[in-house]
Chains A and B, each alone.
Chain A
Amino acid sequence: MPVRVVDTSLPSQASASDADVEHKSPPACTLLGVGQAFSGTQNVSSPQKDEAWRVNVRIQGFDLEHGYLCGTMEALNVPMADTPVVTFWEGEIVDTKNYTFFTNKWKATSEVDIQHWTKFPSFSPLLDQVEVDGGKSLNLSNYPYIFMRWKEQYFVNVGTDCGLTIAGFYYVCFSCTDGSVNGFYYDPNSSPFQKLELQSAQEKDTGFSFSSYALQ
């Protein structure tokens, strides 16, 4: 017997009973856990040239309590680079506790924030509340999308003189449903709205596999 599958998960505004912030944070998702990999492209087109770099991402750390995650990003066909360029990035999870939709740093005003977040269709139901308080009072605990900011911190395998910049950061939307990642790079000195599109990447095409570590 077929089961009707209806997505009823809309974010709600936190009521008084939602005072416990634990319940307002986005849910943990196995596809965004440590060891998980993603692959796809980043569009770096300029008015002069259409260009996209192949990109691989690996999650290395995930701490929902602190709204923190981190990992590496590998750009594969970067012009003028002999090898793939790997960067280490740290992410802020918009959990309404540690971080809201307003960045308040990295040269991003709330207008810039809204401009970028609204590029994600899944953000539309949140827009009104975010304009009021940055989304502080939203309950994201059952929302199947996780919003984040990823900021590259350092180059792992090339020097800072490689002719590339990591001055900007990514507005990111992760889909818990299929593990896809969409992002927009923001750097006032770079082409606007460079799009990052990644899919959950499994080593085998026959199924999903999960490794784990635990720090002492």
Chain B
Amino acid sequence: MPSSAIPSSWSYNRPEHLISRLRSAGEARIKALRELKNQIIGNRTKKLTYIKLGAVPFVVEILCSAAFDISGDVNTVLVQSCAVLGSFACGVDAGVKAVLEAGAFQHLMLLISHRNEKVVDAAARALRMIYQSKLAPKYDFVHTKNIEFILSLLNRTNENVTGLGASIITQSCRTKMEQRALSDAGALKKLVSLLRGSLSQRDASLESLASLIKDNPVVISKFVGPESGRALSAVTELTKDRYPRTRLLACMCLIVVNSSSPTSLQGAGIKMKLITILLELMDDPGEVGDEAGFALSSFISESEDLQKLAFEANVADKLCDHLQNCLLQIRRYQGILLALAGLSSKLECCRSKIFTHKAFNLMIDALNHERSEIRVAACLCLKSLSRSVQHLSAGHFMTEIIIVPLIQLLCDTSTSVQVAALGAISNIVVDFAMHKSVFIKCGGVKQLVQLSKSMDSTIRVNAVWALRNLLFLVDQTCKEGIFSELTATTLSSLICDPKTSVQEQALGLVRNLVDGPVDSIEYIFLEDRLLLHAIGRRLLSSSNTEVLIQGMYVLCNVASGNEFHKEAVMHQLLMQADPDALSIVVKFLQNNDSQLRIAAVWALVNLTSPSSPGAFGRVVRLRNAGVVQQLKTMVTDPCLDVKLRVRTALVQSMTFDDGVVMV
């Protein structure tokens, strides 16, 4: 029978054996550390294997004991231990976690003050690896002593030590107070000076500067001002650097400047350059290319002007082309989708370009992707594209190929996917092409109603928003179907929701529900006027203008109905919060918001329409309640729309004066 022969070298190199050799002393231990380092460098699998076998605590123990050892070649042991720990932490979060859990952080920090420069360098390098990760401990900038320590790191000559100082700022500086404290202590100036340093110092400084100035106009003004020398030009210059990563980081720094201080980047020239540089960087096959999409997205997403520039630079086509070639690279895929979402968020020309590109189908496919971040990005793309009224009018989105996966995402295990899907659905269901029944047939209403009862208020508001848009100009059959799923009870509790944003959307929904044929108004009177009472209570108690506007339009639409409907509205409008208070209609007519005044006046126009039999009685009651008097004070309202409707309401009211018809 053949037997397997295990080569001795294999046995010798087995991970377990190598770990046991870490226990040896002297030269053997150093050799074992070196071997371990060589095995794990750049090898994620090996790192994970050794982490699982508990190698990290062994190495930390060696580091710790060597720090107090004065015999032998202790510095070499320290250097090698640091190097091993740095390797474990490099690019693998599980490694960072293991290194931190083994207590290495404090020891490495102490070694920064070691008398041997090589030890300092190795410790700084290891700490930098830790500070590349989001798991790195948050550094406390509150104490002056700690800020002084960071400054001392930045002032050292060792590249890894200055890089460590910069990395700590990059990972830990978050609040405006921290940014201000560091900047005032001289960190800004020092980081700017490091832009003239080595490649590694430049990159670390650019990254750190972006964190230091992000969303902080005060620090940005210092950065672009004369006290920082020519910092802005230095960063701008680095956008042309020969190294792609430096170019990317310089662009990201300028994007941060632009988002809080757009005037600092003078002229369209530099902005156009940033767009073209980021596009070029997307050709980079590595991490730089992956991140370029995210940078482009953050640059253009909020600005119509930048989207115009991007359109001129043919970004839409280029992103679509990239999309077709990156389907297996998750980070890149996500970045490109987000850039496409940003590009098409405001401009119709960008949307049309993307819509006609064959990559559009890839976006729809991405809705079914196994990774949640891709599903979210795909939903954001569809949300941006479906802001196109032109395409909504043509019914381009209301097809099963788009609707079915979107509805499925409403049951996604990830909340962010659900919210993103709701965003896209909210727009798509506006659908002017009268294909709303497709959405209903695919089971969309059931899901939306379910989500409108979610404990998560973000999901709730978005679900109600989608239902509101779905009810916009919907036919009677669909309306009946939606209402029977939704029920008056659910609607009533949504109107009374603790979140005003939910109340606003719920009232907008009821506004659309009662629009259209007179029969639609009956919904509000079902179950002993459940909805009407909920709306009345909301109008009496809410101080949120948007809520009041939607609520008032509900009453206006109800007042467009028959005598019974008009009388019900009269009752609501003349309600008072307490006997000495103004009636709600007078309160709204006096409101500073012209939209609320218009809604209130339209309701009065409907109530006083001379063609309705009960108008005379209502005019008398409105006059007695001081409403007509209030209208008279508004004939010169600064808002033309209000002014014109007030005139109509007054002319209609005067029709009944002494039986004389006024013209």
Contact = CB atoms under 8 A, between A and B. Distances in A.
Given A61-B389, A88-B393, A213-B468, A206 B641 contact: no
Interface string A182-216: 00000000000000000000111111111111111
Contacts of A167: none
Interface in B565-585: 566
B517 interface: yes
A215 B385 CA distance: 11
Interface in A139-180: 141-142, 144, 153-154, 156, 176-177
Contacts of B559: 207
Interface string A44-73: 000000000000001011000000001010
B389 A35 contact: no
B390 A212 contact: no
B641 A5 contact: no
Interface string B352-391: 0000000000000000000000000000000100110110
Given A2-B654, A5-B651, A88-B393, A206 B609 contact: yes
B394 interface: yes
A9 B641 CA distance: 12
A90 interface: yes
Given A144-B640, A212-B512, A216-B465, A3 B556 contact: no
Given A176-B640, A202-B560, A216-B423, A3 B602 contact: no
A176 B641 CA distance: 7
Contact of B657 (A2, A61, A144): A2
Interface string B450-471: 0000000000001001001101
Interface string B541-572: 00000000000010011011110001000000
A9 B636 CA distance: 11
Contact of A212 (B508, B605, B611): B508
B448 to A, nearest CB: 14
Given A205-B611, A211-B472, A216-B465, A156 B394 contact: yes
A206 B651 CA distance: 17
Interface string B315-331: 00000000000000000
A152 B251 CA distance: 42
A88 to B, nearest CB: 5
A10 interface: no
Interface in A61-118: 61, 70, 72, 88, 90
B91 to A, nearest CB: 37
Interface in A13-34: 27-30
B508 A214 contact: yes
B211 interface: no
A70 B654 contact: no
A208 B560 contact: yes
B639 A210 contact: no
A209 B560 contact: yes
Interface string B464-508: 010011011100000000000000000000000000000000001
B67 interface: no
Contacts of B560: 202, 204, 206-209
Contacts of A156: 393-394, 433
A29 B641 contact: yes
Give chain A's interface secondary structure class.
Answer: loop
Contact of B390 (A153, A177, A210, A216): A153
Interface residues of B, number: 57
A8 to B, nearest CB: 9
Contacts, number: 129
Contacts of B426: 215-216
Contacts of B657: 2
Nearest to A63: B389
Contacts of A207: 559-561, 566, 605-606, 609
A206 B562 contact: yes
A2 B383 CA distance: 52
B511 A212 contact: yes
B650 interface: yes
B611 A206 contact: yes
Interface string B576-601: 00000000000000000000001000
A213 to B, nearest CB: 4
B511 A213 contact: no
A86 to B, nearest CB: 10
A84 to B, nearest CB: 13
Nearest to A154: B394
Contact of B518 (A142, A177, A204): A204
A216 B468 contact: no
Contacts of A177: 644
A22 to B, nearest CB: 14
B430 interface: yes
B647 to A, nearest CB: 5
Nearest to B387: A215
Contacts of B383: 216
A214 B426 CA distance: 8
A20 to B, nearest CB: 15
B516 interface: yes
Contacts of A204: 517-518, 560-561
B469 A28 contact: no
B291 to A, nearest CB: 27
Contacts of A3: 632, 635, 650, 654
A215 B430 contact: yes
Contacts of B468: 213-214
Nearest to A62: B389
A39 to B, nearest CB: 15
A151 B394 CA distance: 16
A70 B383 CA distance: 20
A213 B389 CA distance: 11
Given A88-B393, A204-B561, A212 B427 contact: no
Contacts of A215: 386-387, 426-427, 430
Nearest to B601: A30
Contact of B427 (A5, A144, A203, A216): A216
B432 interface: yes
Contacts of B517: 203-204
A203 B662 CA distance: 27
Given A70-B393, A212-B553, A206 B472 contact: no
A182 to B, nearest CB: 18
A141 B516 CA distance: 31
B472 A213 contact: yes
Contacts of A141: 640
Contacts of B203: none
A205 B473 CA distance: 18
Contacts of B24: none
A215 B468 CA distance: 11
B113 interface: no
Contacts of A214: 465, 468-469, 508
A2 B392 CA distance: 48
A35 B473 contact: yes
Contacts of B561: 204, 206-207
B663 to A, nearest CB: 10
**Interface pairs A-B: 4 shortest CB-CB:** A207-B560, A207-B606, A61-B389, A211-B515
Given A3-B654, A141-B640, A213-B472, 8 more contacts: A5-B647, A27-B639, A27-B640, A30-B641, A156-B394, A156-B433, A206-B612, A215-B426
25 contacts: A3-B632, A3-B654, A5-B635, A28-B641, A30-B598, A35-B473, A60-B393, A61-B389, A70-B390, A141-B640, A204-B518, A204-B561, A206-B561, A206-B562, A206-B606, A206-B609, A206-B611, A206-B612, A207-B606, A209-B514, A209-B515, A211-B557, A212-B472, A212-B508, A212-B511
